[in-house]
Amino acid sequence: MDFSELKLDPRILKALTDCGYHVPTPIQAQAVPEALAGRDLIASAGTGTGKTAAFMLPALQRLTVKIARRKGAPRMLVLAPTRELAGQVMDAARVYGKYLGLTTAVLLGGVPYRDQFRALAKPLDLVVATPGRLLDHLQRRSIDLSCLEMLVLDEADRMLDMGFKEDVDKVCAAAPRQRQTMMFTATLNDAMQKMARRLLDDPFRIDIAVVKNVSDHIEQHLHVADNRQHKNRLLQHLLKHSDISQAIVFSATKRDADSLARDLSAQGYRAAALHGDMNQGARNRTVRDLRRGRIRVLVATDVAARGLDVAGISHVFNYDLPKFAEDYVHRIGRTGRAGATGVAISFVSGAEVSALRRIQHFIGRELPRREIPGLEPRFPLRAASAEGRRRYKGNGPNRSGRKPASYFSGRKERQGGCSERSRGQSAARERLGTV
C-alpha cells in the first residue's frame, strides 16, 4: 500500500511526496481509513511509529471541505501534554497541510498571550494546545469549542501521568458531543481504557506493539554508582570521550537538572538545562541551540523524553532512572535516530534497583554492567527497602551485619510502584512548567 491508496486530497499527497513519504507506516495504514470514515479511534503505539501523521492526515482531509467558520472557533483541536510535543504536532500540520491554506493557532503556556489572542480573533481550522493554557483561554472566552468537529488526545497516557485528567474532562465537556475523537497512547492500561470508555463513542481499537526492544542501533549498558557523588564522577569521566558529539543527561528533578548543567558549564562543557519551570522562550532557545550544535550536553527532565527530535544526539545518560519503564524507552530513543548509532548509559544506585527491574522486564533483557578502572563501586548493588535506604546509602559499609543481597536476589518487589495519590501529587508539582 502507498499513500495514494488512502484517498487523500492531491494537495496532501503532494506535500507527502515533498517530504519523501510514499508508504504509510502500520499505524497510518490502519488509522487513516477508519478516521476518514468518521470513527472514533483509540490507538496504542510507541514513539517513532508515525502516529502524528496517523491523525493529522485524516484531519487535514476533513479540513479540505470548506465551511463557514466563526472567529476563535476551531474545527479541529489537538491536545498535547507538553509544549515540545505541541510544537512538533503543529510543525507536522503545517508541513502536511502547506498547500491547503489553513488558519492555525498554537496555544502554549510560558509565552505571552498577545499573539495567541490575535490568532484566536480569526476564523480557525486547527488549534494545537497544552491543557492548562487551553483551559485558561476557555475561561477567558477567547476560544469557542462549540464548532469542534474533531478532537485528538495525543500522548494521552502522559497527560494522565502529569495530572491532567480533570483538565481533559473539562475540555471534552466544552466540545460538542457529536464530534470525532481520537486517542493516541503509548500504553493501553486500565486507566486509559477507562478514559476511552468515558470520552469515545464505540471506538475502533488499534494496537501497534509498543517498541519494548529498543533499536539495535542503540548500545545500552549501566554503571553501578554508590551515591550521587559517584554518579557525578562517572558522568564527568564519560563526557570526556571524543566520540560524544552531543548528549542528553536525564535527571529526576528540575533542581538537579539546573545544578548539573551549572556544574558542567563550570567545567568547560557547553551545557544547558531543559525542564518545565523554564518559560517557553527559554525552552525554544535551548532546543534551537541544541539543534545548531551550540550545546553539547543538555541536562533535562522527562519533558525532553518525548517530542524532542535532534539528529545529532550520540549519547543518552540516565543520571537517574525513570519511575516508569516506558519512559526509559522514550528517553534513550532520543539517540540512534534516522538510522544512526547511539549509546545509552544508565547510572544505577542501590535505591534504584526496583526501577531497574521494571525496565529490564519491560524491554525483555538485562542491561550489561560496565566498570571504569578507578571508578568501580565500593559496594554491591542491592535492593533498597525502607530499612535498606537508611542502612545502606553507599557512603559506608553495611552495618546490618548481613551480607548484601546479590544483584537480583533481593526480596520480591513490591507491586505497583508509587501510589496513585503520590503520582498525582508529583504531577501537580510539575504541572506549572508544562502547561
CATH number at residue 331: 3.40.50.300
Give the tens place of pLDDT for each residue, 308-351. Answer: 778 889 999 999 999 888 889 888 988 887 667 899 999 999 99
Q: Which of 162, 186, 207 corresponds to the end of one domain?
A: 207
C-alpha span between 309 and 305 (Å, rounded): 10
Residue 99, burial from CB neighbour count under 10 angstroms (0-12, 13-18, 19+):
middle
Does residue 411 lie in a domain region? yes
Rounded Cα distance between 168 and 155, Å, is: 12
Range of the domain at 163: 3-207
Q: Residues 161, 30: one domain?
A: yes
Higher pLDDT, residue 429 or 377: 377
| Percent of the chain at pLDDT exceeding 90 | 56
Q: What is the mean pLDDT of residues 145-154?
A: 95
Which of the listed residues 171, 188, 207 is the one where a domain comes to its end? 207
Q: Which residue has the cell 472566552?
A: 141
384 or 338: which leads in pLDDT? 338
Amino acid symbol at 67 = I
Residues 331 and 356 in one domain: yes
| pLDDT top residue among 418 and 12 | 12
CA 426, 41, 70: angle at the middle one, nearest 5? Answer: 85
**Maximal C-alpha separation, the chain:** 78
Within 122-240, residue ranges assigned H as helices are 131-140, 156-161, 165-174, 190-199, 228-239
Question: What local confidence, expressed as pLDDT, does residue 145 receive?
Answer: 96
Same domain, 194 and 277: no
> Which residue among 180, 207, 234 closes a domain?
207
Q: How confident is the model at residue 389 (pLDDT cuts 50, 70, 90)?
A: very low
Q: Looking at residue 182, what is its pLDDT?
A: 96
| 45 within 8 A of 210, measured Cβ to Cβ | yes
User: Is the residue at 334 inside a domain?
Assistant: yes
- Examine the domain organization and report whether 203 and 222 are in the same domain: no
167-220 pLDDT per residue, tens: 999 999 999 999 999 999 877 778 888 888 999 999 999 987 655 556 678 899
